[in-house]
Structure 1
């Protein structure tokens, strides 16, 4: 009989959680879970010693250097998969083998084919799959969606969305070389479209309903092996809204500036997400920044929640997933939702490849 029956009947009132991967975003998930009532962070795993030390200092009960060992050794209800994308499939399948529900960092997988294998393993094991698409929880974007649904600008013939940051290279001066995997298309499945586009596709479909991609182009603004800029033209099937999306990882990020903006051109006016940034955002971000600077001089740990505007969304997404597990319900953002964003990424790549072929042909003819 599957291990998950034993795990579900362990008798603990707390949801027993493991965190697989304690890098940047894994630390956010770890500290989020530690701050939640009714959640027991039983264990964390990471191959990097410094990350294991960080997890131990944060409050994980036990720390492992291998996630497969953790999954076999611990009695868990759920795990957060915050590993690089090339490890997502193995981690989900290993969790399925021991009957543990999974909350997977985006992108859910590197391709729809890989996602299908993960979803099949989850279905066979009877486990639930959630995905960390946090734009659904970001206050400004939630506010914009609410205003649109309330009819603030009536019908919207055109919408635009821009999401840019500095990607894996970071803002200069860079103190250390970035990890190799974020710039490896085999490890990630792609560049900006995969890293940022999946978030945008998820938010836009959540807001407007089913989308169809009409055209796409990708570019490398920097000398890197993956695209760091992508522009996509979409149409919302139900509303007829034309949407332009641009995402890129070529711009130095100026936190606490908000690096995502959505603008709706409605028949009665225009609204954009910047109007719904909480009034206390910049004040709280400034306090967090001061605290983090002071921590460098005192040897303390920087506050992972500062600026809280972004990272609170991760907390809320994980909290919603945990609540769904407790209630024996489908997670609010499912593995199928994660797969859908990958399908749209692949379609955009196909359009971009077709455009390149046509352009090359024209150059040869001329």
Structure 2
């Protein structure tokens, strides 16, 4: 399917957008959009009154309880879908019915079947679908890709990526209960493999081309209805690279540490994302903040979200998508990219739940 948007009326003028869902990540997208030139946030939608109040305090004049009502009532160029995964397909279908391009928070959907459903609706309506796979927008990951593309380490037979955080439970002591959907396998679609592993699949495809799942294992270190740890062995046929991927939501995040490690073991050296991180997160943040203050006097554009490293990646991903809407071109990370990461996730789940007998049956034996 092709959800490329070509030939729609677009120019270099202001884009009118809406934000669907003002939870934690929705607020990040809202603040990103509010900081962008030539972008107007006309309205937001969220079922929770406290989230709508937050949006109003941030400067949004119109709020809706229901995202469908917003899409049907406002004249939008694009919408950010930051709703729980079980609402993504329906939101995209409503957006398609109202000729609104969509930037969808990852995962694109809970399954490839659900992704196909929303992409078919988008394709039929001629709207663009972008996906918020932000790992490739982080400066450390961009540094790895630049070094790899330069070819200085030669062929990379082996690579590894690890992504850990504290998941929906947060750091103890827990002050607020997590959203119910985040620990519901039906509503969320899965646990750490879908929430975190999908980011890793995307950045690995960005580096090495398409991937094949060789084997996988999922586990739980906590007593939860979804997995909080997963390990996947992958192969990249195009580059003949073997890759190990581990993700988990069992480790508390503690800045200035970075919770993602990526290493490429080349025949002529090693590339690591740690070589492209600020030497000191706090010093870097302070410097960025002072620079932003200085830009007010000079009239230069501030380094939006510069002090926060991760949030800047979300800003850049959304800005890239909106620029593609303005240009009438295919989003840099489109719906097919989002679908393929879901396909790899499903393959990993299937591999992880195979019995020994099934593994033997699937293996070819030659005499």
TM-score by length of 2: 0.88
Residue deviations 1:181-235 (CA, integer Å, cap 9, x gap): 1000000110001000111000001001111110000001110000100000001
Rounded to whole Å, the distance in 2 between the matches of 1:234 and 1:186 is 26
Q: Which residue of 1 aligns with 2:3?
A: none
Residue deviations 1:154-192 (CA, integer Å, cap 9, x gap): 111110000000000000111111111100000011000
The 5-angstrom pairing of residues 254-333 of structure 1 reads 254-279=254-279, 281-285=281-285, 305=305, 308-333=308-333
Q: Which residue of 2 aligns with 1:147?
A: 147
Is 1:15 paired with 2:28? no
Rounded to whole Å, the distance in 1 between the matches of 2:334 and 2:281 is 29
Rounded to whole Å, the distance in 2 between the matches of 1:143 and 1:94 is 38
Of 9-18 and 141-150, more deviation after overlay is shown by 9-18
Aligned residue for 1:246, secondary structure, equals strand
Is 1:117 paired with 2:122? no
Cα–Cα, structure 1 residues 356 and 111, in superposed 2: closer, same or farther, change >3 Å? farther
User: Structure 1 unaligned runs (5+)?
Assistant: 1-7, 290-303, 360-366
Q: Is the 8 A contact 1:33 1:41 kept in 2?
A: yes
Aligned-pair CA distance for 1:278 = 3.2
Q: Which residue of 2 aligns with 1:86?
A: 86
Q: Is the 8 A contact 2:132 2:333 kept in 1?
A: yes
Aligned residue for 2:235, secondary structure, equals strand
Q: Is the 8 A contact 1:130 1:332 kept in 2?
A: yes
Q: Is the 8 A contact 1:265 1:271 kept in 2?
A: yes
The 5-angstrom pairing of residues 1-366 of structure 1 reads 13-279=13-279, 281-285=281-285, 305=305, 308-355=308-355
Q: Is the 8 A contact 1:158 1:266 kept in 2?
A: yes
Aligned residue for 2:70, secondary structure, equals helix
Aligned residue for 1:332, secondary structure, equals coil
Rounded to whole Å, the distance in 1 between the matches of 2:170 and 2:279 is 28
User: Structure 2 unaligned runs (5+)?
Assistant: 1-7, 290-303, 360-367
* Structure with more contact order per residue of length (Cα contacts < 8 Å, sep ≥ 6): 2
Rounded to whole Å, the distance in 2 between the matches of 1:151 and 1:172 is 44
Aligned-pair CA distance for 1:153 = 1.3
Q: Which residue of 2 aligns with 1:297?
A: none
Q: Is the 8 A contact 1:45 1:52 kept in 2?
A: yes
Aligned residue for 2:25, secondary structure, equals helix
Aligned-pair CA distance for 1:257 = 1.2
Rounded to whole Å, the distance in 1 between the matches of 2:356 and 2:222 is 19
Rounded to whole Å, the distance in 1 between the matches of 2:175 and 2:328 is 46
How many residue pairs match? The answer is: 338
Q: Is the 8 A contact 2:12 2:326 kept in 1?
A: no
Aligned-pair CA distance for 1:287 = 8.1
Rounded to whole Å, the distance in 1 between the matches of 2:64 and 2:14 is 21
Rounded to whole Å, the distance in 2 between the matches of 1:229 and 1:286 is 34
Aligned-pair CA distance for 1:281 = 3.5
Aligned-pair CA distance for 1:308 = 1.3
